[in-house]
Amino acid sequence: MRAVVQRVSEAAVSVEQVEIGRISQGLLVYLGVCQGDSSEDLMYVADKVANLRIFPDKDGKMNLSVKDIAGQVLVISQFTLYGDARKGRRPSFNQAERPEKAATIYQDFVDVLKSSFALHVEVGQFQASMRVSSVNDGPVTLIVDSSKII
């Protein structure tokens, strides 16, 4: 499982020009599910997202998590995080999980953030063409990968 995590002052997602999710200060998370991802992968990435200390404390040091600041999270499904562009000019998405299984894992990830970490979570629409807007704060952008290759 792979997540691109951005610290944002605000973010929103719309489908067919209808806004379906919006957050204020918090994290925008693009989540990709890989073939073979397990509950351990899910828990690893969810724990990292909830507890990454990337928000400034009173001294301006990145020392607080989204939980610490009572921030919000917007989670967007993003199978293209497993795009392999090493050969040719057209990426291969063979590593991405099949949509039926990925949708379940995506929803489980959202549920874990809500239930285990008590975060306010907004979501995109799985397999939809979405427009995501955000104001990256910092900018701070990190990659979390459960295979720990990044």
- The per-residue b/e assignment along 56-92, b for 16 or more CB within 10 angstroms, e otherwise, is beeeeeeebbbbeeebbbbbbbbbebbeeeeeeeeee
23 lies in some domain: yes
Please state the domain count of the chain.
1
| 141: containing domain | 2-145
**CATH (domain of 124):** 3.50.80.10
32 lies in some domain: yes
Positions marked catalytic:
78-80
Per-residue confidence (pLDDT) for residue 2, from 0 to 100: 97
150 lies in some domain: no
Per-residue confidence (pLDDT) for residue 148, from 0 to 100: 79
CB 32 within 8 A of CB 148: no
Please state the rounded mean pLDDT for residues 89-118: 96
86 lies in some domain: yes
* pTM, two decimal places: 0.95
